[in-house]
Amino acid sequence: MIALSLLIAIPCVMWLAQTAMLRRHHLPIRWRLSNRDAPRQVRTVGRIATQAGLVSVIVLYPLSIGAPILGHYAHLYPRDASVMDAVVGALMAIVILVGLFLVWLACGRLEIDVHHERRRWVRRLVLLIPSAAFGAIVEESVFRGVLQFDLVRSGVSPVPSIAIAGAVFAAAHYVRSVKRKWTIFGHLALGVALSAAFAATHNLWLATGIHAGGILVILGARPFIRYRGPAWLTGESIFPFAGVPGVFGLAMLTMIVIMRFWRP
């Protein structure tokens, strides 16, 4: 399918950019996508290539199916009452995460610790809302507005489209070499929740709101907390949804989305 072909091209572009920068620094070629111990310029170009690939998919997909770019996304982000779904989605994600944090804090699994310098965390907070909105819009446009939309357009029924889009979304977070692979279960649960939101509402507002709300809380709390584990409980790194309670919370969120928002 068109969408899958475009998505597969992204890691190819990322690898070519990585290879070019490694050779420029007279370093050996890496067959895996990995920034580990790489010079800063290699990491920077890698991030640029990733974002450029995602934006290219967003632009090229509508053109490939003969639709106007703005018209395609205007259809997926309609100017009607469904805009409020984004607010509701964000609030649901925030409530779940804040609830998890409060329970972990009470149980000593989370520690308040301002471990970033003042200038850094102030800048992070100032940019928090635009960063969360931008990240959510880009990823939802790619994985729901392109991939899942293309699956439905090709005749795939809702349940398989949710499973496929959710799985590809999760796998995309492991294209680059990562320290821990078991966290993919959390990404799968998140991908299914977001894909269910798109299938339920037929637009991107709810999925984008859920996604943005999660980014908002996780990135906003990052400079001020430390996870004390164990990993199965609180997740790893900055992804608390990877733990068992987080996956359970996402499963509940998925059920709420289906029961509350499903539109035939």
Tell me the mean pLDDT in the region 75-98. 95
pLDDT tens digits for range 24-65: 888 899 888 888 888 888 889 888 999 999 999 999 999 999
Q: Please, what is the average pLDDT of the chain? A: 92
Please list the residues that pair with 33 across neighbouring strands: 176
pTM: 0.94
| φ and ψ of 236, to 5 deg | -125, 155
pLDDT tens digits for range 115-124: 878 888 888 8
Residue 208 in contact with residue 143, Cβ under 8 Å?
A: no
Tokens 């850094």, located at residue: 120
End-to-end CA distance of the chain: 25
Report residue 65 CA to chain centroid gap.
25
Of 160, 156, 242, which is closest to residue 196 (Cα–Cα)?
A: 160
Sign of CA dihedral 247, 189, 228, 100: negative
- Between the CA of residue 42 and those of 22, 47, 157, 173, 174, what are the distances in Å? 7, 9, 41, 19, 18
Q: pLDDT band for position 213 (50/70/90)? A: very high
- Between the CA of residue 169 and those of 22, 98, 165, 166, what are the distances in Å? 28, 24, 6, 5
Amino acid at 256: I
